[in-house]
Amino acid sequence: MSLSMNPPSPAIPAALEHAQHAVHEGISRLVPDYRPGYHLAPQAGWMNDPNGVVFFRGEYHVFYQHHPFDPNWGPMYWGHAKSRDLVNWQHLPIALAPGDAFDRHGCFSGSAVVCGDTLALLYTGHTWLGEVGDESAMRQVQCLATSTDGIHFAKLGAVIDAPPDAAIVHFRDPKVWREDDHWYLIVGARLSDRPCVPLYRSSDLRHWEFLDYLCSGDEGDGYMWECPDLLRLNGRDVLLYSPQGMQPDGFARLNRFHTGYRVGRVDDARHFSGGPFIELDNGHDFYAAQTLLAADGRRLLWAWLDMWESPMPSKAHHWCGMLGLPRELELRDERLHSFPARELTALRQQALPVETATCSDGHRRLPELAGDLLELEVRLDLAGCSQGRLGLALRCSEDGAEQTLLYYDARLHRLVLDRDRSGAGVDGQRSAALVPGQQWLELRLFLDRSSIEVFAADGRFSLSSRLYPRPDSLGVRLFAEADDGRVTIRRAWRLAAQIA
């Protein structure tokens, strides 16, 4: 099957050229202090949701929400990067620019699929029919754009030009997949203050039939589910989405918005029913996740490593936003486990000495591990530890003013990420509960210049957060302030800076 291309309108190349020029101008003003070494970030300007993660002609393509003209959210474009190995990324020209009648004020989030020899992007066209910000004057439609080279895209216009209910105003973020002889599409929608997920079917990606609502939310489920994704793992169906409007509950859901999932099944009538909502990541900054079924059968995931209404000091440096590391997903015992993509071991540049990197009482500085591009494998021995804290401090300054703490709190029986002293603008703790009676805990953590990602309990939970310490805050320290227990760094590597 192939999709024929219509020629792009003359205005679109000019809009893309103008946006690309803005990126080049922005690069000349960048300040490098917080720039990630191996995470994907915009060359300049603003980045949020990952879009259209796809494998096309032997390469991984990641698109993303992008405002190229300054480091603040604005009319959305689609930025674009590709990689053969998930490690070395090449920035490509901006793929989509707003400006047509159906997407005048933004090319919002969506997905990508391969159809024969064509790469197809399905995205939300956003327009204001009246005053900007007046939701009653907002129009969102689902649009199609195609490419035969994976770089230059022709817009084919709106292919779903109205929601299934006239009362729906928010109607965005299409996710498309192939099943048997048809394409299927789900989209996030808000009907009054109730979230719902309309389901469509097509034979050609152009003409879509509304089937029904895949599912909808109940009281307490928030008012909108952004970026829905339906995946099948180990014979079970998983609905992944980013709810808005869910309230905090104890240690859970402390961020402005969240990303999580429900495990269940899609019945013969294509209705999803599942278990409770589970947060996919317990850190400060993780949103709008999207997955890709890779050619080798792995389910890979990317997310935006930021959070709405959070401190973003890199704006002063003429860029903002980054994506988390690509993760592999597995379903075990009705819970998603996430792991750093196995290809990321290629980032390891230098093994660091850890023969004596252990602490069972007090504090221990490890000057040989100092750095801001690190991968560490850590073991916390918890047997007999009934009170106090056991863990490590990262990105420590010489004067003691800055540090990021990762530790086991014996009283709470939780792993805690504390960034009260993690640098400019950020604060607060996030945590995840350990299994009762757990005697030890193994951690794998990735430290980049302005982020930390922690994978724990064999992928059962993770903690991802942005940090903004001074460039010279590089120290690593172990501490055991508990009645018993030990913390050990088992292996450590300095990682290569792969992305400018």
Q: What would the pLDDT profile of 194-217 be if each residue is shown by its tens digit?
A: 999 999 999 999 999 999 999 999
Tell me if 1 is assigned to some domain: no
Q: Are residues 367 and 326 located together in one domain of the fold?
A: no
Tell me if 38 is assigned to some domain: yes
Write down the pLDDT at residue 131: 86
Q: What would the pLDDT profile of 421-477 be if each residue is shown by its tens digit?
A: 999 999 999 999 999 889 999 999 999 999 999 999 999 999 999 999 999 999 999
Helix (H, G, I), strand (E, B) or coil at 57: coil
Distance CA 424, CA 405 (A): 16
Identify the domain containing residue 392 by its residue range.
Answer: 348-495
Query: Count of CB atoms within 10 A of residue 267's CB?
Result: 10
Write down the pLDDT at residue 77: 98
Alpha-carbon torsion, ordered 323, 326, 329, 335, to 10 deg: -30
Q: Are residues 416 and 456 located together in one domain of the fold?
A: yes
Tell me if 3 is assigned to some domain: no
Choose the final residue of a domain: 293, 312, 343. 343
pLDDT score of 500 more than 60 = no
85 is catalytic: no
Q: What would the pLDDT profile of 14-30 be if each residue is shown by its tens digit?
A: 999 999 999 999 999 99
Query: Count of CB atoms within 10 A of residue 404's CB?
Result: 23
Tell me if 2 is assigned to some domain: no
Q: Are residues 314 and 409 located together in one domain of the fold?
A: no
Q: Do 100 and 155 touch, CB atoms closer than 8 A?
A: yes
Distance CA 451, CA 465 (A): 6
Nearest CA to 31 among 373, 318, 313, 312? Answer: 318
Write down the pLDDT at residue 136: 81
Distance CA 442, CA 241 (A): 28
Mean pLDDT in residue range 478-484 = 96
Joined together, the tokens standing for residue 103 give 């997407």
Choose the final residue of a domain: 295, 321, 343. 343
- Strand runs (DSSP E) across 84-153, as ranges? 90-91, 107-115, 118-128, 138-147
Q: List, in order, residues 6 or more apart from 230 with CB less than 8 Å away.
A: 175, 177, 186, 214, 237, 238, 239, 240, 266, 272
Q: Are residues 234 and 289 located together in one domain of the fold?
A: yes
Tell me if 6 is assigned to some domain: no
Q: Are residues 291 and 368 located together in one domain of the fold?
A: no
Helix (H) or strand (E) holding 24: helix 11-27
Q: What would the pLDDT profile of 75-91 be if each residue is shown by its tens digit?
A: 999 999 999 999 999 99
Write down the pLDDT at residue 57: 97
Q: Are residues 65 and 174 located together in one domain of the fold?
A: yes
Tell me if 117 is assigned to some domain: yes
Kindly report the CATH number assigned to the domain that includes residue 126.
Answer: 2.115.10.20
Tell me if 95 is assigned to some domain: yes
pLDDT score of 1 more than 60 = no
103-136 burial code (b ≥16 CB/10 A, e <16): bebbbbbbbbbebeebbbbbbbbbbeeeeeeeee
Q: Are residues 291 and 187 located together in one domain of the fold?
A: yes
Joined together, the tokens standing for residue 7 give 């020629």
459 Rama class: left (phi>0) / alpha (psi -120 to 50) / beta = left
Q: Give the type of residue at 466.
A: R
Joined together, the tokens standing for residue 53 give 């993660």
Q: What would the pLDDT profile of 39-84 be if each residue is shown by its tens digit?
A: 999 999 999 999 999 999 999 999 999 999 999 999 999 999 999 9
Q: Which of 33, 49, 361, 418 is an active site residue?
A: 49
Q: Give the distance from CA 164 to its chain's centroid.
A: 29
Mean pLDDT in residue range 337-351 = 97
DSSP-assigned states of every residue in 413-425: TEEEEEEEESBTT
Q: Are residues 247 and 364 located together in one domain of the fold?
A: no
pLDDT score of 33 more than 50 = yes
How many CA atoms, within 13 angstroms, populate the side-chain half-sphere of residue 350? Answer: 11
Choose the final residue of a domain: 323, 343, 363. 343
Q: Are residues 267 and 374 located together in one domain of the fold?
A: no
Nearest CA to 265 among 237, 296, 226? Answer: 237
What phi, psi does 93 have (nearest 5°)?
Answer: -60, 150
Q: Are residues 325 and 354 located together in one domain of the fold?
A: no
Kindly report the CATH number assigned to the domain that includes residue 437.
Answer: 2.60.120.560
Tell me if 75 is assigned to some domain: yes
Q: What would the pLDDT profile of 261-308 be if each residue is shown by its tens digit?
A: 999 999 999 999 999 999 999 999 999 999 999 999 999 999 999 999
Q: Are residues 300 and 360 located together in one domain of the fold?
A: no
**In the chain, how many domains are there?**
2
- Strand runs (DSSP E) across 277-357, as ranges? 278-279, 287-293, 299-304, 319-320, 327-332, 335-340, 348-351
How many CA atoms, within 13 angstroms, populate the side-chain half-sphere of residue 403? Answer: 17
Q: What would the pLDDT profile of 166-185 be if each residue is shown by its tens digit?
A: 999 999 999 999 999 999 99
Q: What would the pLDDT profile of 138-169 be if each residue is shown by its tens digit?
A: 999 999 999 999 999 999 999 999 999 999 99
Write down the pLDDT at residue 4: 53
What phi, psi does 207 have (nearest 5°)?
Answer: -110, 115
